[in-house]
Structure 1
């Protein structure tokens, strides 16, 4: 993980990949709930990701957004691309595994009655790609996975270990992860894991959920539809 710099959003540390990771943790007013790992876009641990984490906490989840860039953030697409390129996929997945274990051991995280404790994972763009990698890597520890327009800088590793139900949100006008690529990804996931993803394609572009609108593609109507589906899905499988 990159060296930590000042980021006011960092409010928690946890063991990860042989070191110490930082992140942003939000706990519901009730004091407990199912755990969710929230995985950043290529911009870093930004106010938008913190807001998503807070929104999940407001809906009753204990949400943790790991800081994969060690405190660095940007609003420049070129710099964001460089930060993403500097982040090895397998290293990031191991760092995220520390977040999973942190939530599983956290006193505020609950589980469904009579079941082993599991957490969910929600991620956006680069983070959406990492949701799929994490779910495959962590197997039964992940009880629900939700990638928003998930992409990686390289081909996805094997999905053979994936067991979690999958809900995905993608844009019809997304030049990064277009409908044909999404359908091919869904077919590959099912072939390798036996899990049939529920992938939705919206009349929108890439990053349509990000209300900071760095790419000019934010779509509040489609974002609300995707958010409602996400909450229903997480509640069905985790709460």
Structure 2
């Protein structure tokens, strides 16, 4: 079984995570030919002193990574998970998932952007966080995960490009998503945080690979 507890052990430190998420957004915007189909986005002005990386696969699954002076909060939602508020009788967040979120980071979870109309709780099946000054990622310590699913909280597929950040894995994802070849050297260039050049943009763009 793959859960948030396995995922958090593979998350990088916040600085590396931020750079990686920015790179994924750049790659998605450059490889794709229509912004409305991009799954990854990065908002440098999410709120006062806040930045947010968002992923929405267009099929009902999404995650957010919000960076603030108080720390980083990661929220994910798997719409097919038995842990979804929509799957519980009282439409509440699954016990233990967010109970231990520190008070300093709770406003990031309660952002209206992460609630659906008519749902009085955050849209979340998986959550992890890291307060400023902490040295490890943390998640709920007493979550009773439902059985019968390899990734009951959705962390296995929601965060696969965050737990495996290799250029090969990132390229494979975008090749599958856009159904065309993507040059590995260009992916490496962007993931390394190097400035986008006309040559790299042309190589990644829809007309870059025949």
Instruction: Give the TM-score, by structure 2 length.
Output: 0.30
- Structure with the greater alpha carbon radius of gyration: 2
Which of structures 1 and 2 has the larger relative contact order (alpha carbons within 8 angstroms, sep 6+)?
Answer: 2
Instruction: Give the TM-score, by structure 1 length.
Output: 0.28
